[in-house]
């Protein structure tokens, strides 16, 4: 299914020659809980084994939030680091991507705003599941390019271990907790976002959802997934959107320095890379150590890559995601952000 691109060239042409601001990731922040949930721990909780988990997912451990480490708490910690690295800038808007908010309302964005001591700017949540960070960036990019905002704080925070069913071995081994944040603005010096695509298809809403098991409609609600259907559809969607955002940016996949995908499952990532003819040494992976953190996974991977010195100014980066909805999204950008701790 085609995705609708946010055509930067078309926007520039429509301005009648006026220079359109280019959104950049100015800084990153991240937060991971201290508690580690290893495959050995999973073996004691559910009928599984380290070998089974690693062969099917590539995951060896994931982080688990302690009581009180809610998405807003973790998100505020990540956001504080990102804002400090951006020079303690006061954002014009706060966007939070989460599918595991601790309350129905107020929004996680408003709770984070409270914890940061900020006020007055719009703050709101979006739920595109694992595609949430790129969806959030697309909104930040549109606000900056239209001059509705100069700086936007985009946060992704998840406490997925609170909504999984630890009797369902096919899903509970996948998910972990964590948060990451990006300050998006116009820092100058070239680079920045080159192309974005976001899409959804509710016809496949039953692939990944929160609810009861199909065979037990009166049973407990938790995160549910159709494994085989999800794997196949995820590989198809993220391969397609990666090729499309590369084309929108005027890049060939061979020119991309780093692919930073949603860390859903190492086998999904490997299959998509093979279709794109991208060697795994150009793919940023941390799913083995943090598991699937849904919306937070891409910015967590970017933060880690920046901290290790792998990301350098001017490098071409493509990120892709697939999640419940179903949703999928792609992003092509040149790295301009400052290194992260």
Token pair belonging to 155: 């946060």
Residues 39, 127, 265, 292: which is the catalytic one?
292
Distance CA 21, CA 292 (A): 33
Whether residue 10 is predicted with pLDDT greater than 50 in this model: the reply is no
Q: Which of 246, 262, 265, 303 is catalytic?
A: 262
Does the active-site annotation cover 286?
Answer: no
How far, in Å, CA of 252 to CA of 259, rounded?
12
Does position 227 have pLDDT exceeding 80, yes or no?
A: no
pLDDT in tens, 78-100: 999 999 999 999 999 999 999 99
Query: Alpha-carbon torsion 285, 291, 293, 296, what sign?
Result: negative
* pLDDT, position 283: 98
Which tens digit of pLDDT belongs to each residue from 143-186? 999 999 999 999 999 999 999 999 999 999 999 999 999 999 99
How high is the pLDDT of residue 189?
A: 66
Q: Which of 130, 172, 198, 246 is catalytic?
A: 130
Q: What is the mean pLDDT of residues 119-134?
A: 98
First-to-last alpha carbon distance for the chain, in angstroms, is 39
Instruction: Output the six-digit token pair for 126.
Output: 């979006």
Residue 1 has pLDDT above 50, yes or no: no
Question: What are the DSSP calls for 271-309, one per residue?
Answer: HHHHHHT--GGGB---HHHH-B-GGGHHHHHHHHHHHTT
| pLDDT tens digits along 260-308 | 999 999 999 999 999 999 999 999 999 999 999 999 999 999 999 999 9
pLDDT tens digits, one per residue of 189-211: 678 999 999 999 999 999 999 99
pTM, to two decimals: 0.93
d(CA 79, CA 219): 37
pLDDT band at residue 18 using 50, 70 and 90 as cut-offs = low
pLDDT of amino acid 338: 61
Find, among 219, 136, 227, the residue nearest to 184 by Cα.
136
Which is nearest to 108 in space by CA: 137, 139, 88, 132? 132
- Catalytic residue flag (residue 303): no
Residue 262 among the catalytic residues: yes
């Amino acid at each position: 299914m085609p995705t609708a691109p946010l055509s930067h060239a078309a926007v520039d042409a429509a301005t009648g020659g006026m220079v359109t601001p280019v959104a950049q990731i100015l800084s990153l922040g991240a937060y991971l809980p201290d508690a580690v949930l290893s495959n050995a721990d999973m073996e004691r909780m559910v009928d599984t084994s380290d070998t089974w988990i690693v062969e099917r997912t590539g995951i060896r451990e994931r982080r688990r939030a302690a009581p009180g480490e809610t998405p807003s708490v973790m998100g505020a910690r990540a956001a504080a680091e990102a804002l400090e690295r951006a020079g303690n800038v006061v954002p014009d808007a706060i966007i939070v991507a989460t599918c595991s908010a601790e309350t129905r309302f107020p929004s996680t964005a408003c709770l984070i705003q409270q914890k940061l001591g900020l006020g007055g700017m719009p703050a709101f949540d979006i739920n595109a599941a694992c595609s949430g960070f790129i969806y959030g960036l697309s909104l930040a990019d549109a606000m900056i390019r239209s001059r509705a905002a100069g700086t936007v704080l985009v946060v992704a925070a998840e406490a997925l271990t609170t909504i999984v069913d630890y009797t369902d071995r096919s899903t509970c081994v996948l998910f972990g907790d964590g948060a990451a944040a990006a300050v998006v603005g116009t820092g100058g010096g070239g680079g920045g976002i080159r192309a974005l695509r976001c899409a959804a298809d509710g016809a496949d809403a039953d692939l990944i959802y929160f609810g009861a098991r199909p065979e037990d409609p009166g049973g407990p609600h938790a995160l549910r997934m159709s494994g085989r259907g999800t794997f196949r559809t995820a590989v198809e969607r993220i391969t397609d959107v990666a090729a499309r955002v590369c084309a929108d940016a005027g890049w060939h996949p061979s020119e991309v320095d780093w692919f930073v995908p949603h860390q859903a499952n190492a086998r999904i990532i490997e299959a998509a890379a093979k279709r794109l003819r991208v060697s795994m040494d150009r793919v940023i992976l941390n799913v083995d150590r943090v598991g699937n953190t849904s919306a937070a996974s891409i910015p967590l991977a970017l933060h880690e890559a920046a901290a290790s010195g792998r990301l350098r100014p001017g490098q071409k980066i493509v990120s892709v995601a697939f999640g419940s909805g179903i949703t999928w999204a792609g992003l092509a950008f040149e790295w301009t952000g400052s290194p992260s701790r």
